[in-house]
Structure 1
Amino acid sequence: MKFSYANTTQILFGQGQIGAITKLIERTSKVLVLYGGGSIKRNGVYLQVAEALSDYHWLEFSGIEANPTVETLDKAVALCKTEKVDLILAVGGGSVIDGAKYVAAAAHYDGEGWDILIGKHKPQSAIPLGAVLTLPATGSESNANSVITKAATHQKMAFAAPCVLPRFAVMDPDVMKTLPEKQLVNGIVDAWVHVCEQYITKASGALVQDGYAETLLRSLKTLGETFEDRDNDLWRANLMWTANQALNGLIAVGVEQDWSTHMIGHELTAIWGVDHARSLAIVQPWLLRNQIEFKRAKLEQMGRNVFGLTDSEDLAERTIDKIEAFYHSLNVSTQLTEHQDGKSAAVDAVIERLEHHGFTALSENQSITPVEARQILEKAIA
């Protein structure tokens, strides 16, 4: 193991913490509040933020989509430049926070913001940002990652830059009380796959990373098994904190990472609008079966330490079956049904986009070429 790790996001966790943002924002700052479709006005979060910022000069930008588009976000970038915004406050789930990261970086760049997503420009500075999390899932509130869509071309691309790591994040589990059941399920599944992408790779002997990843997986498994108890303060707090820890960078240090499930899943979202978490559940079991010989040791470890399975020659296979059964227990499908064209056309569409992006050697082993991706999709698409 050899790594450098720092996570400087200050977390304000617990009920009633939104008002505490005044302790973290300088009184002279001009603040831009970014949010999505208006649910924060119905659940009281907007009012709490407005009250906290009552003594500040602040403005707002709404309408950020569930899969934030560069077309919408560029309007916020222009606003930041015109108004000389000092701090961006993202109020929402991972999509809003991801969008805020793009806005923060693009506002410090004179070229086309999409250059950031295609790697033409690597951000070195950005407008400082904070977050008020309303939907636990992505961990975006305390990591430097962002995924943005270009609606014109149906491209969904990611970037990461230390300069867009939020300065602070408010995590109040009370904001989850009004979330639909589907979004809570998505949060569990999203966090689960985030952990798996960093854990089901090569056996490395990294005891802390493996042990913590297994703790997070067991926590998510328990939350799924007790889903009927979701109207509970402790249940909500545990999901919000587990989803954060799943992707704050800690379990990734010093170990191999995969992310091929995400790369393929992103295309299901870009083409057919499948919820991000559900796209992952569609791809992951079939990808693991396809790559089982590379991942057998870690799958066996997961089977023993997360699902409590006994040793056998087919332990890895049984572990994948348990993962799939976990999704099914949450009424999450592991096959794509949203496609309108025939199966062959749907598979071709995804492969074409993967090749266009240059994603022709995915996984920690670079062993998922278009051939393997096609095999995976043949199973994953109904």
Structure 2
Amino acid sequence: MNNFCFQNPTKLIMGKGMIAQLSKEIPSDKKVMITFGGGSVKKNGVYEQVKEALKNHNTVEFWGIEPNPAIETLREAIALGKAENVDFLLAVGGGSVIDGTKLISAGLLYDGDAWDLVKKGKADKTVPLGTVLTIPATGSEMNDGAVISCKETKEKYAFFSNFPKFSILDPEVTFSLPDYQIACGIADTFVHVMEQYLTKVGESRLMDRWAESILQTLVEIAPKIKENKQDYQNMADFMMCATMALNGFIALGVSQDWATHMIGHEVTALTGLTHGHTLAIILPGTMDVLRQQKSEKIMQVGARVFGVSSGTHDFRINETIRKTREFFNSLGLTTSLSENNIGREVIDEIERRFNERDVHFGEDGLVTGTVAKEILNKVY
């Protein structure tokens, strides 16, 4: 196990009816800006619950944070927050709303353009924020990361700021989610785990088995959720899988990859394809191209998650990759670029961008622009 320092200050508030706890979690003397996405919270009852809980607070609302939150939209939110002297933020939505609000929390205390902070990659001064999670996927409700896009340049970058003070997770708010959104959320969660797990063997038995437990749970509950997305226990497990996948717990002392995510961010930025869907396409390609370097871990996930424990070395690797792709297909997701009408010019542009930035992604820094192109060609 590698050396590490770990701290996660987010208070997790889980369960039915817990949105009412907002009144206790946000100090009454704070000026609160509540951020939202496109309006689904008005259809599933979340908006009414939030407003009731904060009826004695001084609040202002900002609507319209889109999937893949755009700096163009977030600039408007920052301007509103500054004009209203906001000193607490509440993100009500999925990962995009929470990610965008993390940048708002930094932008409120920054005199320049918030895109500077994104390009820098981090911010130290932030306004406190809390969240009400409505879409399990990104894990943003219990980490300090965010991913912000720029529509003008078709760029998408990771950015780190502050942990939410608290996050409220009520599984009942997920019952009305569209099937595609659930499928992308499960895929996103699955790949988050794999980015921290499918690296080197022998670094930590505990982290391996903790990661495997999340993967095993996702494989077990996915078909049940597809059959009935209003089962409270299954959706509660899904929410917790998504949170635990990226709150730092399974990453303690082990190597991390993130090449699949970095490639996926570019596909989304250039084509608009939903983030979780891009990961379902790219991960099998990453496993295939890096099969030699990742062979022991691929066989381990095959044996412990998919039951592939016999056969030749090559058979076990091929079968594990096939079962990974099959799992994503079972969610209802396609697993090739061509099925989504994404042309080879997108592959060429990603190679160009990576080469221009001289990137070296992956646990061993092996994924350059050339290797990214090879991965994308594998899943074309």
1:12 aligned residue: 13
Give the superposition deviation at 1:354.
2.6
- Offset from partner CA, 1:123-161 (integer Å, 9 cap, x none): 111000000000001110010000000011010111123
Matched residue, 1:307: 306
Q: One-letter code of the match for 1:160?
A: F
Specify the code of the residue in structure 2 equivalent to 1:190.
Answer: D
1: distance between equivalents of 2:104 and 2:165?
A: 15
Q: Which residue of 2 aligns with 1:101?
A: 102
- CA distance in structure 2 between the aligned counterparts of 1:64 and 1:298, rounded to whole angstroms: 38
Structure 2 equivalent of residue 207 of structure 1: 205
Answer yes or no: is the 8 Å Cα contact 1:204–1:255 preserved in 2. Answer: no
SS of the residue 1:292 aligns to = coil
1:173 pairs with one of 161, 171, 174: 171
Partner of 2:353: 353
Provide the aligned length of Structure 1 versus Structure 2: 376
Q: Does 1:145 pair with 2:145?
A: yes
Name the amino acid aligned to 1:48: Q
Distance in structure 1 (CA, Å) of the matches to 2:123 and 2:359? 26
Equivalence map 1:49-88=2 (5 Å): 49-88=50-89
Farther-moved stretch of structure 1 (126-135 vs 296-305): 296-305
Structure 2 unaligned spans of 5+: none
Moved more, 166-175 or 330-339: 330-339
Deviations 1:189-217 (A, max 9, x none): 11000000000001133011111000000
1:127 aligns with 2:95: no
Q: What's the Cα RMSD here?
A: 1.4
Q: What residue number does 1:235 align with? A: 234
Give the CA deviation at 1:338.
Answer: 6.8
3-state DSSP of counterpart to 2:338: coil
CA–CA distance in structure 1, aligned partners of residues 338 and 299 of structure 2: 30
Deviating above 6 A after TM superposition, structure 1's stretches of 4 or more consecutive aligned residues are none
Alpha-carbon distance in structure 1 between the residues aligned to 2:216 and 2:42: 35
- The residue identity in structure 2 corresponding to 1:305 is R
Paired residues of 1:13 and 1:171 also in contact (CA < 8 A): yes
Correspondence 1:289-304 to 2 at 5 A:
289-304=288-303
Q: CA deviation at 1:340?
A: 5.7
Aligned mates of 2:310, 2:340 — CA distance in 1: 39
Distance 1:212 1:380, change over 3 A: same
The residue type paired with residue 94 of structure 1 is G
Deviation, 1:355, is 3.0
Q: Could you tell me whether the CA contact under 8 Å between 1:272 and 1:339 is conserved in 2?
A: no
Stretches of structure 1 that go unaligned for 5 or more consecutive residues are none
Q: Is the 8 A contact 1:274 1:338 kept in 2?
A: no
Q: How far 1:268 sits from its partner (Å)?
A: 1.1
**Cα contact 2:200–2:294 (8 A) shared by 1:** yes
Q: Is the 8 A contact 1:145 1:160 kept in 2?
A: yes
Say if 2:354 and 2:368, in contact at 8 Å, map to a contact too: no
Amino acid paired to 1:206 = S
- C-alpha distance in 2, partners of 1:122/1:184? 30
* Secondary structure at 1:294 match in 2: coil
Change (3 A) 1:79 1:338: farther
For 2:264 and 2:122, how far apart are their aligned partners in 1? 25
TM (norm. structure 2) is 0.96
Preserved contact between residue 31 and residue 86 of structure 1 (Cα < 8 Å)? yes
Contact 2:180 2:332 in 1 (8 A): no
Task: List per-residue Cα deviations over 1:215-245 (Å, max 9, x = no partner).
Answer: 0000000112322132211111111111110
